[in-house]
Each structure stands twice: as structure tokens, then as C-alpha cells.
Structure 1
Amino acid sequence: MEHTYNGMPASDLTNVAWRKSRRSNSQGNCVEVAELADGSVAVRNSRFPDGPALIYTRAEMRALVLGVKDGDFDGLLN
């Protein structure tokens, strides 16, 4: 697998399956995630699929998802 790093072009991540939320709107205003071979997770802006990808560990993604489920970021929606 290629060397991955934060900010690398998402288009450089080959053989990955990008997924987005079913809550994504038709204008494509969402983020997409892809599991990488080493278990880490890449995140990209769906409007700029060739733009930068942020690479997170499983532990970082777990903390984010659990925080979202717990409502830790609800204030960002107001």
C-alpha cells in the first residue's frame, strides 16, 4: 500500500471504497470515508473528491463517532 499522510490527494488513495451518509443531500454537501488497508480511515470532502484526504486512526474515528452519538457536537448545528 502507498504511504498515507494527512492532506494527501484523495485521488492518490487507490483501491478504496468511499462511503457517504444516507443523510447526504443531492448537492453533495457531505464528507466521505474510506477504510484503508492498514485499518486507518480516510476522510474527504465529497464536493472535491480529488482534494486533500485526512487520515485518522481507528481510535480517533471511534472517539469522533461516539462523541457525535453522545451529542457532543450538537452545538455546531445551530
Structure 2
Amino acid sequence: MTHTKNAAADLGTEDWCKPWSGGNNGNCVELKPLGNGHVAMRQSADPDGAALVFPSAEIARFVRAVKAGMADFLVA
């Protein structure tokens, strides 16, 4: 994992998406495929803030783990 200090300036303002959102007044995580085998992740309420950059394989591993219930303890 790496990071950038200003997601909008460093990675652009286009192509960010909210894969899910709930009753949180639009404050969610946004993701952006970077096209180099990496995915950026930022807080939607702070688009000029930092973004974390993960290899796509790590995002896939995270999603599989969540689907398998391995993060259920976070909301129990």
C-alpha cells in the first residue's frame, strides 16, 4: 500500500465511484481504478484529502474476506 496526500490533485477528479453508500449523508468511501494494477481509495467527504493506493489483488482479497464474514466483528 502507498498513499497520496491530495487525491484530487494527484489522481484527478474523474472516475471516482462509490461502490456502496448507506444512510450516512453521502459520506462514504470512493474507489478509483488506476489502470496500472492498483486501486485508489479516499473518503468522499474530503476529495482533496489523502488517498490510499492498493494493488488490485489486495482489494480483491479484502472483498472476499468481507463476504466470508471475516469483518463482522467490526459491526457486532
Give the shorter-chain TM-score range: 0.7 to 0.9
Answering whether residue 4 of structure 2 is matched by residue 7 of structure 1, we say yes
Task: Please list every run of at least 4 consecutive aligned residues from structure 1 whose deviation after the TM superposition is greater than 6 angstroms.
Answer: none
- The Cα of 1:13 is off from its aligned counterpart by 0.5
Compared CA separation, residues 22 and 63, structure 1 to 2 (3 A) = closer
- Per-residue CA deviations over 1:11-59 (Å, capped at 9, x if unaligned) read 1202641111343335122100000021200000011111000000011
Compared CA separation, residues 53 and 25, structure 1 to 2 (3 A) = same
Q: Is the 8 A contact 1:16 1:36 kept in 2?
A: no
Answering whether residue 52 of structure 2 is matched by residue 54 of structure 1, we say yes
Answering whether residue 52 of structure 2 is matched by residue 32 of structure 1, we say no
| Count of matched residue pairs | 74
Identity %: 39
Q: Distance in 2 between matches of 1:49 and 1:74?
A: 28
Scaled by the length of structure 1, the TM-score of the pair is: 0.81
Q: What is the RMSD of the two structures over their aligned residues, measured on CA atoms? A: 1.7
